[in-house]
Amino acid sequence: MIPKPSVMLSSEAIAARVRELGAKITQDYKGRHLVLVSILKGSFLFAADLARAIDLEDVRIDFLGLRSYGSGTESSGVVQITHDLTFPVENKDVLIVEDIVDTGLSMQYLLDNLATRKPSSVKICSLLHKPARTRVAISIDYLGFTIEDKFVVGYGLDYAEKFRNLPYIGVIES
């Protein structure tokens, strides 16, 4: 049995930050055609909360499923699309909604892939960033929290598919 993860970011702290991010995005995208691209599975809760914190008329939501191969908790940068967007994003303002930027390899793959679809802009909103493990520098336009180099779970993030339903971001103590 894995013990219950200890709290790193409480659900209250997350909710407050999500409200701030939503307000900033609302300001920045006034009058534009925003497409939120939620990266599955990790960002499903973040995207659901963030979408409700954005007060704009023209907001579309789509999902892109990614599986990144690696050994255990290490990303390899070899990424497979498991579920593709359901509508074209050509001439749209795309905002990628991601759970965490760790090595940056998955995000780099995603940026390269989305660029081929000719959106008018692509920005990144990530709940978490773990700068200690950067392999490709990614400029995150909207960032929830910078965290130290620990493997985190909860609020969408998993360890071997478990803990996605925790309402907070936690750390598995080893």
Beta strand 78-83 with 59-69: parallel, antiparallel or unpaired?
antiparallel
Decide if residue 113 touches ligand IMP (CB under 6 A): no
* 51-90: contacts with ligand IMP (CB under 6 A): 68, 75
Decide if residue 42 touches Mg ion (CB under 5 A): yes
Exposure b/e, 107-145, CB count within 10 A at least 16 = b: bbbbbeebeeeebeebbbbbbbbbeeeeeeebebebbbb
Q: In terms of CB distance, is 34 or 96 closer to Mg ion?
A: 96
Decide if residue 26 touches ligand IMP (CB under 6 A): no
Q: In terms of CB distance, is 11 or 108 closer to ligand IMP?
A: 108
Query: Catalytic residue at 158?
Result: no
Footprint of Mg ion (CB under 5 A): 42, 99
* Residues labelled catalytic: 102
